[in-house]
Amino acid sequence: MKPVIRTRIIFAVYDICLVMLWGLITAYLHDGPAMKSRLESYLFVFLTFPLIWLVLSLLTRKFRIGERSNQREVFFSVIFSNFVILSVTTIIMVLFQLTYFSRFILFGTVAGITFFEVITGILYVSMMRSVFIRDWIGMEIPDFKSMVTISPPLPETLAVPRNFVVIRDSMIEETGEKVFIWISKHMDVTDPKNLILSTDTRFNIINHPTGFYNMVVNLHRINNLQRINKFFETVNSKLPVGGIFIGCCETNFLRKHRILASYSTGINYLAYTFDYLTTRVLPKLPITNKIYFLITGGKGRVISRTEALGRLYSCGFEILEEKTIGNLLYWKTRKYRVPFFDENPTYGIFIHLRRIGKNGREFKVYKLRTMHAYAEYVQGYVYEKYQLATGGKFHNDFRVSTLGKVLRKFWLDELPMFFNVLKGDMKIVGVRPLSKHYFSLYSDELQKRRILYKPGLIPPYYAQFPTPATLDEVQQNEMEYLAAYEKHPVTTDITYFFRAMYHIIWHRARSK
């Protein structure tokens, strides 16, 4: 059966179940215990209404909501179809004089079904359009030196060294003495091959020659750039492989501390709450997003440290050093390749990841986003900078957002993985699905045994307390689970499930 047809059938069965369930619920809410005595009079309606609902849903193509391109189409598809159903049903009630059947039951049933259909449809489409988060760790970077274009030689006048006093005073006036001292440690400010700018537009970068400069410094924070990636890509095009780019931004963490320090206690948190709503929430909502950028032009936007560094990596720069000076985060980066030119946005509530499943087949694992945007590009940087913690996680992983920590604490980020269970890619208990990189870290023996079975939603190491602290201990735990599962599959999964639940509830075992 084709996946499209199977999806339509699943939605149809789900819809009929909703019709029957909400019909009984609204009838009970209307009649209370007396509903039992009226079931005989309701029987005809309860049998014919689901049939009418199914036929009209098919005619209005409502069961194709899984094929809609966005949430707006899902919403209007459900509303239109259910309006037609309500209208036709009302006409039938009038024509056949079904006055004994309450309008409250009819309207209540349609309203309840509509609510759940819209929510289910939007969630399904959102998961299908989820952002693909790549596994960048261990990815080989090709050599792009041959792709660097060199423009004709510049006039000799451009090779004249700058006046140190003039450039020093102007930089201090623009950014402060501490910033000047830090930058001057990394570059010769008098060298004409080191371009120093303070701009919020890439126009001032485009007009400079390609291949002449060894370093580019932008003293203006990137928060005011309308198209940050395009700016970084332009800088990348002007530098040779190995060229240095220095810039800065105000991260959300530094912004919060600046606002809290600017007002007296009590008022400062009110000011921060207002700032958070207007600069973090409104730009993310589909209704207010366009209005926000129309008014602000994207200037003064809030950027996390993860997003700033991730954008740099996606545009072909690797981080050499970070330095917080005042309320700004400064970075020194080196060009190591051309930009990725990734057309897929990294924003979105739902994400999917490629993981190794049964028989070594890759499949999509759905999750709620718990990390800041562009976190996937910084994965290699975090891997090199921090050691693995318990369960194979990173120590001090700054990529995880505040909301993400809450979602992980209560396992809410993994709720979409139940969809993988329903699809048959996973089971409730089993070894966790791994990326190619993490899979390569496992022993050959465990790799071969892992791919014999479906991965699971609840990993076996939660059934052990204390949970394994190292990768070797995790592997040992999985080997013990697989050995037991090979002998007694059902009883092993049941035993591990209840053990895991016990440790999660009583020992507060959590994903970090």
- The dihedral built from the CA positions of residue 196, 201, 206 and 211, taken in this order, carries a sign that is positive
**Confidence tier at 152 by pLDDT (50, 70, 90):** very low
Output DSSP code: residue 364: E
Lowest-confidence region among 363-372, 374-383, 443-452: 374-383
**Structure token digits, residue 496:** 């591990």
Instruction: Tell me: cis bond preceding 152? Omega within 30 of 0 counts.
Output: no
Lowest-confidence region among 221-235, 292-306, 376-390: 376-390
Range among 50-54, 100-104, 477-481 rated most confident = 477-481
- Beta-carbon contacts of 408 under 8 Å, excluding residues fewer than 6 positions away, are 370, 400, 510, 511, 512
Given this model, what pLDDT does residue 130 score? 82
- Among 88, 108, 129, the domain-final residue is 129
Residue 188 in domain = no
- Among 108, 129, 150, the domain-final residue is 129
Lowest-confidence region among 267-276, 298-307, 392-401, 405-414: 392-401
Given this model, what pLDDT does residue 65 score? 74
**Structure token digits, residue 434:** 């791994």
**Confidence tier at 489 by pLDDT (50, 70, 90):** very high
Is residue 389 pLDDT above 80, yes or no? no
510 or 502, which is more confident? Answer: 502
Mean pLDDT of 68-81: 84
- Name the domain count of the chain: 2
Given this model, what pLDDT does residue 149 score? 47
Residue 468 in domain = yes
Given this model, what pLDDT does residue 131 score? 79
Quick: pLDDT tens for 18-57.
Answer: 998 998 888 888 887 777 767 666 777 778 888 999 999 9
369 or 31, which is more confident? Answer: 369
Residue 23 in domain = yes
Mean pLDDT of 235-261: 95
Mean pLDDT of 102-122: 89
Is residue 129 pLDDT above 50, yes or no? yes
Output DSSP code: residue 350: E
Distance CA 413, CA 196 (A): 44
Given this model, what pLDDT does residue 317 score? 96
Q: How many CA atoms lie within 13 A of 408 on its CB side?
A: 14
Mean pLDDT of 115-137: 83
Q: Quick one: which H or E segment has residue 183? A: helix 177-186
Distance CA 504, CA 511 (A): 10
Given this model, what pLDDT does residue 276 score? 87
Given this model, what pLDDT does residue 136 score? 66
Q: Quick one: which H or E segment has residue 88? A: helix 71-95
Residue 68 in domain = yes
- Answering whether pTM is above 0.85, one says no
Given this model, what pLDDT does residue 380 score? 80
Distance CA 260, CA 272 (A): 7
Residue 279 in domain = no
Residue 150 in domain = no
Residue 314 in domain = no
Mean pLDDT of 405-420: 87
248 or 287, which is more confident? Answer: 248
- Beta-carbon contacts of 315 under 8 Å, excluding residues fewer than 6 positions away, are 229, 232, 233, 235, 236, 339, 340
Is residue 146 pLDDT above 50, yes or no? no
Is residue 257 pLDDT above 90, yes or no? yes
**Confidence tier at 453 by pLDDT (50, 70, 90):** very high
- Among 80, 101, 129, the domain-final residue is 129
Share of the chain above pLDDT 70, in %: 88
Is residue 508 pLDDT above 60, yes or no? yes
Is residue 145 pLDDT above 50, yes or no? no
- Beta-carbon contacts of 278 under 8 Å, excluding residues fewer than 6 positions away, are none
**Confidence tier at 90 by pLDDT (50, 70, 90):** confident
Asked if 373 contacts 346 with a C-beta cutoff of 8 angstroms, the reply is yes
Domain containing 97: what range?
Answer: 3-129
- The dihedral built from the CA positions of residue 291, 294, 300 and 303, taken in this order, carries a sign that is positive
141 or 499, which is more confident? Answer: 499
> Mean pLDDT score of the chain, rounded to an integer?
86
Residue 482 in domain = yes
Is residue 169 pLDDT above 60, yes or no? yes
Q: For residues 236, 213, 299 and 284, what is the CA-based torsion angle, rounded to 10 degrees?
A: 10
